[in-house]
Structure 1
C-alpha cells in the first residue's frame, strides 16, 4: 500500500492562498472600523447642530448675519460650532446655517445643516 501526501510546493501554494485571504479579511475589517468611527462622529456632530437650531428656535432670536461661535461637550469630546443667519427673498424668513467641527481650526466642518426660521 502506497501513501501519498502533499508536496512542499502544494503546501506553499495553499499557505500563500490563505495568507492573501487573511490579509483581505483584515483590510476589510479595518475599513469597517474606520467607517463606523466616521459615522459615529457625524451622528454626534448632527446632534450638536440640532441643539443649536433648537436653541435659536426656543429663544425666538432673529438670527444675525454674522457668525456666532461656541463649543459644547458631547460624548466625551469637545465640539466647536458656529451659526449665522442668511437673508432670503422673504423678509419674514431667514435661513439658519449651522456648522460643527471636531477641532476648533479645522478647515472643513464635520456637519453642516440649514434650516429656516420665521419672525
Structure 2
C-alpha cells in the first residue's frame, strides 16, 4: 500500500488579514494626505492674495506721491475706494495724520479683498510723506 504523496504548500500571495491591515493603513493615510494638500492650497491662495494686496498698496502710495509732486497737498483724514487688479476688486483705505515733524505726514494704507470688508486687512503699508520734497520713507 502506497501513501498519497504530500503536497508542498508554497503560498505566494497575501492572506486576508494582511490585505485588511494594508487597507486599514491606506484608509488612515489618504485622508491625512488630502487634508495636508488642502492646507497647502489654502496657503498658496493666501500668499497670492497678500502679494496682490501689496501691489495695490504700492500703487496707492505711488498715486499719493505723484499728487504731492504735482503741487497737491497731503491727504488729511481718511479716504476709501475700490481698485481692480488681476480680475478682482480690492478695497483700500488710506488714513493720514500729521506728525511732530513739520511738513511730514504718516500715511497708512490698508488693503482688503472687496468681499471681506470686516476682519483684518490682507496688507497694511505705512509710509511717511514729505509735503515739499521728493523724499519718502516707508516701513
Q: Does residue 66 of structure 1 match 2:74?
A: no
RMSD: 1.6
Partners of 1:89 and 1:15 lie apart in 2 by 69
Given that 2:82 and 2:114 are in contact with CA atoms closer than 8 Å, whether structure 1 keeps it comes out as no
Partners of 2:81 and 2:115 lie apart in 1 by 10
2:45 aligned residue (37, 45, 57): 37
Q: Does residue 47 of structure 1 match 2:46?
A: no
TM score, norm. by length of structure 1: 0.90
Partners of 1:20 and 1:109 lie apart in 2 by 38
Please give the per-residue CA displacement for 1:76-98, whole angstroms capped at 9, x wherever unaligned. Answer: 00111111212222122111100
SS in 2 for 1:67: strand
Q: Does residue 20 of structure 1 match 2:28?
A: yes
Partner in structure 1 of residue 100 of structure 2: 89
TM score, norm. by length of structure 2: 0.78
SS in 1 for 2:75: coil
**Greater fraction helix:** 1
Question: Which residues of structure 2 form unaligned runs of 5+?
Answer: 1-7, 132-139
Question: Which residues of structure 1 form unaligned runs of 5+?
Answer: none
Which structure is larger by alpha-carbon Rg, 1 or 2? 2
